[in-house]
Structure 1
Amino acid sequence: MSTTTPAGTTAPTAKLERWQRFRANRDKALAAGHGWLTLTSFQWLEDSPAAVELVPGLWSAQGNGSAEGAGTRERTTAVLTAVPSDGLTLVETGETVDGTITAVLADEESLMWVQFGGPAGDRTVVELAMRGGRYAIRTRDAESPVFTEFDGVPTYPYNPEWEVTARFEPYPAPVDVPISTANPLVDGVHRTVGEVVFRLPGSPHEFRLQAEEEKLGALTVTFHDETNGDTTDDWRKVSAPRPRPNPDGSFTVVLDFNRAINYPSAFTPYGTCPMPVRNNSLDTRVEAGEKQPYPA
């Protein structure tokens, strides 16, 4: 059995149903409590204790320096001082913050640290994040209109032509490539493990994009295309299962652009999402996957 898509192509029902389940799970994940849709601020912490917007207490980042004799670098410490009347409690235990507490994170780590507000005291969660060697906090408000009014991400109709078989060419060793992120004050690194080589519908030439490795050997490809800024956000990503080895020693991987998704920065100005590496641009319109969540 097959189904005719709006593009006039015929899609096997099983593939269409799998894509529909993927979309339902994707929207459900985005709508999770205190998820990406609830972000309402991003603020760097200063060296000295100071008040910050939207959150009670005094916040700072202290202790950057070198540890003598141990051969290791002392990590910067995030510090929060509050009194019970501030209404802050620890997310993990529910314990009231009364006095000074600290936390230490490695770069790119995050911690859902404290919470406050609302009848149960958990309307707003404060996320502590280490980005580019600096501490920042992000507020996640369960009553953010972006979250409460969310009704799913608009997408292009499913089209089986956008599922392509690619050749994966692994590098001898991963290569770290400096990149920009959605926050101009935060630099990023793309750990490239190889390149995917493929053709797309309507394009006369091959494309070659750099890929990162995820859990269990899966790949993620972050890319620009000609729909960006028109019907889609400024960049998107597509994930693929672990490449399959072939008898001749080559590797094959399937890229399904119907499953191309937005980074969180498409939904909020408070993300630090990675941009594509310089060469990961497609000079064609990839009319598949997620569109801009908030078109003009």
Structure 2
Amino acid sequence: MTAAAPATDAQIERWQRFRGSRNTALATPHGWLTLTSFQWLESEPSAVELVPGLWSTNGTTASLTASAADGLTLVETGEPVDGTITAVLQDEESLMWVQFGGADGTQVVVELAMRADKYAIRTRDNGSPVLTEFDGVPTFDYNPDWVITGRYEAYPEPVDVPISTANPLVDGVHRSVGEVVFHVPGREHEVRLHAEEEKLGALNVTFHDETNGNTTDEWRKVFVPRPRPDGSVVVDFNRAINYPSAFTPYGTCPMPVSGNSIDVAVEAGEKLPKGRII
């Protein structure tokens, strides 16, 4: 790859604003940096790690039995849990259900989740050192050569493609709406990557590249603004970001579709979080 063209002050400023917003969003209370466990619920009421009460599921409904002395309250209302409460979710849904701990009783939020048609809970602890010691995600320096113009080729209809996730017990589905096609610096052949649709017609592309497992996580994603009327798109790999599973072992983040790989080192965007070793 040839030397990068100089970046303009305006490009650097826009990128720095993006990085500031990204780091702020990651560091929100009870966000992705606060996950401290992922636990499947059993059929019999059972104790779980890190959380008071007895938890169970009959397959369609999740149940929690606790006394007022356990200190659990409902996230939505603040009402104490004293007895048995239940909740029903659809696959891939989550509910910030109960909370406890800390001076105000809200340090830990317990998220109820339905994954692979099974109920699980995740604890979100604002005292997690991943959050308290967070000072931003390391990144490559901004490189305008990695702002690439390509094209979008939409499918006649979306195609559901089975994929794996960060949790080997949870399979996923990638709803491919088309392919983003472009050339990368230093390569003559085209790269084609499956894309999912986001809000307002934007696209989400999850990809592997040759930096994975070295300077970056095992995969990353980049959001692509809505294609122009002529089908052209701009892919800014300086804005490639990590999935939550780069920061925590308790994510169920989707892996790329088979073949969604770039055969060069994309030295742009987010690197491995500090302290993370693959």
Same structural fold, with TM-score higher than 0.5 when normalized by the shorter chain: yes
* Corresponding residue for residue 193 of structure 1: 177
* Corresponding residue for residue 19 of structure 1: 15
* Corresponding residue for residue 164 of structure 2: 180
TM-score by length of 1: 0.91
* Corresponding residue for residue 3 of structure 1: none
Q: Does the 8 Å contact 2:4/2:144 carry over to 1?
A: no
How far did residue 37 of structure 1 move?
Answer: 0.4
Q: Which amino acid in the other structure matches residue 39 of structure 1?
A: L
Q: CA RMSD in A?
A: 0.9
Structure 1: how far apart are the matches of 2:203 and 2:8? 25
How far did residue 8 of structure 1 move?
Answer: 5.0
CA offset digits 1:5-47 (Å, max 9, x no partner):
xx65211222211110000000000000010000000000011
Q: Which amino acid in the other structure matches residue 122 of structure 1?
A: T
Counterparts in 2 of 1:134 and 1:289: CA distance versus 1, 3 Å: same
Secondary structure, counterpart of 2:272 in structure 1: coil
* Corresponding residue for residue 277 of structure 1: 257
How far did residue 188 of structure 1 move?
Answer: 0.2
* Corresponding residue for residue 85 of structure 2: 101
Q: Which amino acid in the other structure matches residue 32 of structure 2?
A: W
Matched, 1:61 2:57: yes
Larger Rg: 1
Percent of pairs with identical residues:
74
Matches within 5 A, 1:241-280: 241-246=225-230, 251-280=231-260
* Corresponding residue for residue 61 of structure 2: 77
Structure 2: how far apart are the matches of 1:233 and 1:104? 34
Matched, 1:235 2:235: no
Structure 2: how far apart are the matches of 1:78 and 1:18? 45
Q: Which amino acid in the other structure matches residue 101 of structure 2?
A: G
Structure 2: how far apart are the matches of 1:115 and 1:231? 36
Secondary structure, counterpart of 2:216 in structure 1: coil
Q: Which runs of 5+ in 2 are unaligned?
A: none
Structure 2: how far apart are the matches of 1:274 and 1:263? 8
How far did residue 166 of structure 1 move?
Answer: 1.1
Secondary structure, counterpart of 1:245 in structure 2: coil
CA offset digits 1:79-121 (Å, max 9, x no partner):
1110000000001110000111111111111111000011100
Q: Does the 8 Å contact 2:62/2:88 carry over to 1?
A: yes
Counterparts in 2 of 1:110 and 1:293: CA distance versus 1, 3 Å: same
* Corresponding residue for residue 45 of structure 1: 41
* Corresponding residue for residue 193 of structure 2: 209
Q: Which amino acid in the other structure matches residue 184 of structure 1?
A: P
Structure 2: how far apart are the matches of 1:166 and 1:8? 19
Matched, 1:165 2:149: yes
Q: 2:72 aligns with which of 78, 88, 105?
A: 88
TM-score by length of 2: 0.97
Q: Which amino acid in the other structure matches residue 148 of structure 1?
A: T
Q: Which amino acid in the other structure matches residue 15 of structure 1?
A: Q
How far did residue 139 of structure 1 move?
Answer: 0.3
How far did residue 50 of structure 1 move?
Answer: 0.7
* Corresponding residue for residue 67 of structure 1: none
Structure 2: how far apart are the matches of 1:285 and 1:182? 22
Tell me which stretches of 4 or more aligned residues in structure 1 moved more than 2 Å: none
Structure 2: how far apart are the matches of 1:220 and 1:131? 21
